[in-house]
Amino acid sequence: MNKNRVGIIRVLSTDNLQVLYSHETIIKNIYPELEIISEAIKDQPNGVYNQETELESVPKILEIAKDMEKSGVNAILISCCMDPGLTLIKKELNIPVVGAGMASALMAMSLGNKIGVTSLDKVIPPNLHETLGNKLLAYQPSEGINNTKDLLKIDGKEKVLKTARDLRDQGADCLLLACTGMSTIGLAPLLEEKLNIPVIDPIIASGGLINYLVKRK
Amino acid sequence: MNKNRVGIIRVLSTDNLQVLYSHETIIKNIYPELEIISEAIKDQPNGVYNQETELESVPKILEIAKDMEKSGVNAILISCCMDPGLTLIKKELNIPVVGAGMASALMAMSLGNKIGVTSLDKVIPPNLHETLGNKLLAYQPSEGINNTKDLLKIDGKEKVLKTARDLRDQGADCLLLACTGMSTIGLAPLLEEKLNIPVIDPIIASGGLINYLVKRK
């Protein structure tokens, strides 16, 4: 049995193959030995960004996850830091299922004890809050960064850098970028260079955890 | 710069090269791309097994860790589930430092929400308790298994299996073997096959986390 097959579920609809494969590409660059298939949920071009869109996405994610399990993948990544449907899907499937939020929270805890988190929403995703427990120092969104399109604007990176610097100055010994859109624009290495503390990229963290899970036996 | 060099610190003294390299060998079998150097602390043939021996080991571990950092390794693994000296050594060094206890607790949390832990001591190592938080279901040592030599006796594996079954029957959805001696005898796959829930091997978990840390940039 091939132990290295991974299914990535993208929680936004897209016809753009570059977008569809963007997370797969990041992981393959680091773990070329993994076989990856990516699939996107239908009819949610704006993805998952609040409770309503999260609830809408869960049955779609579950259906794709079940199909992927049938096709023989060894583990599944729900590629969103809100981990939509994670608890339900773990119960329904017999293979490991990882959420990008959970993966990045766990990896952050290996590097820091006072973790600063930033993302797009006003409040921290509850799954991250729960996993980080008393290792969460603070959550802070960036002013003017309300969706992934804002990240792509000319001053997008600068705005997140300001927030990240604030978190470090509050005493964070590790930063967690809790939005997979921040992976797409390669924000973590930039912030790490400027701030000199570890910065967790959620897709790279997910790749690291998934690579462990498919090889651990 | 080579990103794939790892130093493993063995917390027992040994002249037996097979013993010295045993954890390195387990990790290299899964992650052959890692370059690993192993070094053991001096004058502790019985390793670390209580608070006194832990305190005795910490300055020795710190000294080896500093030397390894100078020699250019990209990450260090303290190969003991009690994580002796981890907090201190993380502060003193500029590279990631992982303890086998921390690594296995984090990896267990990716697979389960009710984690059963077994090891050699009467009580759970405090670092594991703290990391697992409310995901710790129960801790239970095995009757008659007080040190690593007991593990090697003819009924050693059977005794741990009994404990593991108890923990599963109490509701554990993941087991954590919090003793690296249980890695050496390959206990995790045996228990996993018998009990049909994931069983975390601390050295394989450490390898997975270290492999992420040295490649994540």
Same domain, A181 and A210: no
Chain B residues whose CB is inside 8 A of the A191 CB are none
Rounded to whole angstroms, the Cα distance separating B7 from B37 reads: 5
Q: Give pLDDT tens digits for B7-54.
A: 999 999 999 999 999 999 999 999 999 999 999 999 999 888 788 999
Per-residue pLDDT at B148: 78
d(CA A152, CA A22): 15
- How far lies B114's CA from each of A23, A78, A114, B36, B168, in Å? 30, 21, 25, 33, 10
CB contacts, 8 Å: B205 with chain A:
212, 216
Tell whether B65 and B17 lie within a shared domain: yes
What pLDDT, on a 0 to 100 scale, did the predictor assign at position A2?
53
- Exposure letters B147-185 (e unless 16+ CB within 10 A, then b): ebebbeeeebbebbbebbeebbeeebbbbbbbbbbbbbe
B114 interface with A at CB cutoff 8 Å = no
- Structure-token match 């996107």, residue found: A40
What is the phi-psi region of residue B140: left when phi exceeds 0, alpha when psi lies from -120 to 50, beta otherwise?
beta
Check if B217 contacts A (Cβ < 8 Å). yes
Average the pLDDT over each of A12-21, B67-76, B104-113, B205-214 and give the range with the smallest value: A12-21
Nearest-Cα distance to chain A for B20, in Å, is 22
Q: What is the pLDDT of residue A167?
A: 98
Is pLDDT above 60 for B1? no
User: CA-CA distance, B177 to B191, in Å (whole number)?
Assistant: 10
Tell me which DSSP letter residue A3 carries.
Answer: S
Residues 30-49 (B) with a CB less than 8 A from some CB of A: 30-31
Work out the percent of chain A whose per-residue pLDDT is above 70: 99
| Interval B104-132 mean pLDDT | 95
Residue B106: its chain A contacts at CB < 8 A? 106-107, 109-110
Between residues A51 and B31, which one has the greater pLDDT?
A: B31
Summarize the confidence of residues A159-176 as an average pLDDT: 97
Confirm if A44 and A11 have CB atoms less than 8 A apart: yes
| Burial class of residue A42, CB neighbours in 10 A (0-12, 13-18, 19+) | exposed
* Domain CATH code at residue B39: 3.40.50.1860
Q: Are residues A21 and A80 in the same domain?
A: yes
Q: How far apart are CA A205 and CA B30, in angstroms?
A: 19
User: What would the two tokens of residue B155 be?
Assistant: 């009924």
- 3 state DSSP class of A163: helix
Percent of chain B exceeding pLDDT 70 equals: 99
**B106, B96: one domain:** no
Strand partners, A116: A138, A175
Mutate to test the interface with A, among B212, B214, B215 (most CBs of A within 10 A): B212
Helices (H) and strands (E) in chain B, counts: 11, 8
**Residue B72, token pair as written in the block:** 């250019």
Under the banding of pLDDT at 50, 70 and 90, the label for residue A164 is very high
- What's the whole-number mean pLDDT along residues B160-176? 97
Q: Which residues between 88 and 107 in chain B have a beta carbon less than 8 angstroms from any beta carbon of chain A? A: 96, 98, 102-103, 106-107
Give the sign of the dihedral formed by CA B3, CA B9, CA B10, CA B11.
Answer: negative
- Looking at every residue in chain A, the average pLDDT score rounds to 94
Res. B3: pLDDT tops 70: no
Residue B119 has pLDDT above 60, yes or no: yes
Check whether residue A32 and residue A116 sit in a common domain.
no
Predicted local confidence at residue A150, as pLDDT:
85
Nearest residue of chain B to residue A104 (CA atoms): B110
Mean pLDDT value of segment A124-148:
92
Lowest mean pLDDT among B93-97, B120-124, B128-132: B120-124
Range of the domain at B46: 5-100+204-215
End-to-end Cα separation, chain B, in angstroms = 12
Cα A11 to the center of its chain, rounded Å: 11
Residues B141 and B117 in one domain: yes
- DSSP letter at B23 equals H
Same-domain status, B19 and B91: yes
Buried b (16+ CB within 10 A) or exposed e, A186-205: ebbeebbeebebbbbbbbbb
pLDDT bucket at A1, cuts 50 / 70 / 90: very low
pLDDT, residue A108, reads 98
3-state secondary structure at position B37: strand
Q: Determine the pLDDT at residue A152.
A: 84
Number of domains observed in the structure of chain A:
2
For B213, nearest residue in chain A (alpha carbons): A208
Element (DSSP H or E) covering residue A101: helix A100-111
Shared domain check, A13 and A41: yes
- pLDDT at A159 > cutoff 90: yes
Q: Residue B3, CB half-sphere, CA atoms under 13 Å: how many?
A: 9
Q: How confident is the model at residue B127 (pLDDT cuts 50, 70, 90)?
A: very high
Q: Considering CB atoms only, which of B30, B192, B216 is closest to A215? A: B30
Task: Indicate if the pLDDT at residue B78 is higher than 50.
Answer: yes
